[in-house]
Amino acid sequence: MDASPLSPPLPSVLIVDDEPDICMGLGDFLKHNGYTVRAVQAGHDALREVERGQIGVVILDLGLPDLSGLDVLRGIKKLDPLLPVIVLTASTQESHTVEALHCGAFTYLTKPYNSYELRFALRQIGDAQRLASKVARVEGDLSASEERFRTVVGTTPDVVVLADRNGTIFMWNQAAARLFGYTEGEVIGQPLTLLMPQRYREAHQAEIMRLGTTGETRIMGRTVELHGLRKDGTEFPLELSIGIGKTPSGVFYSGIIRDITRRKQAEEAQRQAEARYQSVVENAVEGIFQTTPDGRFLMANPSLAQMLHYDSPDTLVSTITDIRQLYADPKKREEIQALLSQSGVVRAFETELICRDGDVISVSVNARAVRDLQGTLLYHEGTVEDISERKRLAADLLEEIKIAEIARALGDIGHDVKNLLMPVQTGVDLLREEVQEILVSLAAAGEGAQAEASRKVSNELIEMIVNNTRRIQDRVRELADAVKGVTTAPEFKPCRISVCVEAVIGSLRRYAAEKGVALHADGLESLPVIQADERRLFNALYNVIDNAIPEVPAGGSVTVRGQIDVGADMFVISVADTGSGMSPDVRDALFTTQVISRKAGGTGLGTKIVKDVVDAHKGSIGVESELGVGTTIHIRLPLNGVR
């Protein structure tokens, strides 16, 4: 775009607009381009200025405080029919455009004005006025100036075509010959329709007839875009300004033509670029947005609307009046604002947004502040990526790493326990021999009764150590298998409950005795053999009784009973203690996922082990408890075992 001042002499311009800012802005623009400017804000003032004369061009707003802009236009044309008027208004109604042009306006521009369009219109007016002036002067003295006129027309860089009132070409310049491909001899005396595509010719003939009949024309004094037809049959876009002149010999038309092929190509390239940009925005996987500095959406693409569970971008934009509504943590919005103010850009900022249905998603935001040439903030724009799945996968990976580390630690611990148990087993055998020798010595020394009592106690303790060592070894093997990813399935075999319970009581008897708690088994010998995993059942009963002992005061007891529920075909094992009992909330949560240990150093795993064993046997577990009285746990197992 050429921003240099137009070549003098330039006409004086009268600005008629009731907005002082418009008058000031237009005035500065025109003065910068070399024009003399006057400005008025009312229709009556405009007509007085035109009547005074010395006005070359009028720029007229249709919305004036005292007169209709169209009435002012008619008044100007009445005072000076040849004075060109450019209508510049905010109105976009087509009826206003048609009526203004019909009243004689040179062209019609909308606010805010495009400086290129205004400069071009003024240039067209200047060209037409200069050309008409030249033609008038030449025809005033044909004998002296005809050759000079032809030289002026012939050397102007714009295409100039002159035709008589019937539309017959009688003169054109070299620029026209280059553009259309005809020689002067081929076009002089030919109708103007020679230079236009077939689709324009009927309308052209009608316009010629209208001018001859009424003296009026729709395009006279206007700049229009049409298509020209070259000699080789190709079409090209052109811009045409038509003027009318009068000589003693009659009326003639002057046409100034510019090839706008490059401009149209640039416009098409811009249109395609905008279409490509729109396609990228509409089809992007990431959410794309533009917001005002105070947080109102200007634009959102379909991906952002879908990400936030909205039906469409329009619904998102109209629903969210302040994007702070989207932030799960409003402070995050403030952080983004601060970063944009400081550096103008935000990269990979992670936060959480609230969807339309209340869901919360994790996102990564990239944004930048867009400013004009003066540095004024216009808006913010950026992209939003849903990283919820990435965050979930990262959390899963972290959990897997933790589990792997736990498995490694358990493997190490299991290995160490296994190694530590081997000397225990060896030591027990040596201890058994050593104790036996001591007891023999006591008996020989006449302490037979004491030796027998010691033998009974030592055998019981050694047997407990041996049995528990064996069970620890079994559990360590299970632990090693679990670390390797091997799950040990329950092994159901014929099992006598009395034997299993006696083994548990034997392991815990000394511990209970230290606490002053008696352990009893009642009515178990008469119970039938069932199909069960004796090792797992031992662990379950061990945990139940072991958990009960600390809750029983000295002098109390824990009793294991068994009975058959014939109607339900179930085997019932009850473990009753005379402890402190438990509150309803603790009782109800005892064998659920919400259970927590209330013992110092407890983990809550004991009750889970019990529940898992009962579930593996397709059984059930229930609790009765009363504060200050005690607790009874009922384990119900299928009488016929697990099939």
**3-state DSSP assignment of residue 263:** helix
Give the pLDDT confidence of 187-211 residue by residue, as tens digits: 999 999 999 999 999 888 888 887 7
For residue 128, name the pLDDT band (cuts at 50, 70, 90): confident
- Cα 210 from Cα 576, distance rounded (Å): 117
Contact between 514 and 472 (Cβ < 8 Å): no
Measure the CA dihedral 248/250/251/256, to 10°: -70
Whole-number pLDDT of residue 280: 78
Residue that has been written with the tokens 């994007």 in this structure:
323
**Rounded CA separation 497/395 (Å):** 45
Cβ–Cβ under 8 Å, residues 86 and 107: yes
pLDDT at 435 over 50: yes
CA distance 42 to 23: 12
pLDDT given at position 557: 93
Give the whole-angstrom CA distance, residue 431 versus residue 438. 10
Q: Which pLDDT value is given to residue 154? A: 58
Average of per-residue pLDDT across 74-86: 88
What's the whole-number average pLDDT of the chain?
A: 82
Residue 260 contacts by C-beta under 8 Å, 6 or more apart in sequence?
225, 237, 238, 239
3-state SS, 593-604, equals CCCCCCCCCCCC
The whole-angstrom separation of Cα 98 and Cα 95 is: 5
User: What's the confidence (pLDDT) of residue 62?
Assistant: 84
Taking only the tens place, the pLDDT of each residue in 393-430 is: 888 888 777 777 766 776 667 666 766 666 766 676 67
- pLDDT value of position 106: 84
Q: What is the pLDDT of residue 378?
A: 92
3-state DSSP percent of the chain in helix, strand and coil, to 5: 50, 25, 25
Q: 12 by DSSP, 3-state: which?
A: strand
pLDDT at 293 over 50: yes
Q: Give yes or no for a contact between 614 and 552, defined as CB atoms under 8 angstroms apart.
A: no
Q: Which of 373-387, 437-451, 456-470, 598-612 has the highest mean predicted lDDT (pLDDT)?
A: 373-387
In the chain, what's the furthest Cα-to-Cα distance? 170
Read off the tokens for 262: 């490059």
pLDDT at res. 380: 93
* Phi and psi torsions of 528, nearest 5°: -75, 165
pLDDT tens digits, 581-600: 888 888 888 887 655 454 54
**Which token pair is 252?**
């003639």
Instruction: Tell how strand 345-354 and strand 530-532 pair up.
Output: unpaired
Dist CA 223 CA 86 (whole Å): 11
Place of tokens 């593996």: 616
Output the pLDDT for position 527. Answer: 85
List of residues 6+ apart from 134 with CB closer than 8 A = 149, 152, 153
Tokens of 312: 């469409």
DSSP 569: T
Supply the angle between the helices 448-483 and 534-548 in degrees, to the nearest 10: 110
Using the structure block, give the residue that is written with the tokens 């950026």: 382
Cα-based torsion angle of the residue sequence 52, 55, 59, 60 in order, rounded to the nearest 10 degrees: 20
Return the closest-CA partner of residue 563 out of 632, 616, 642.
632
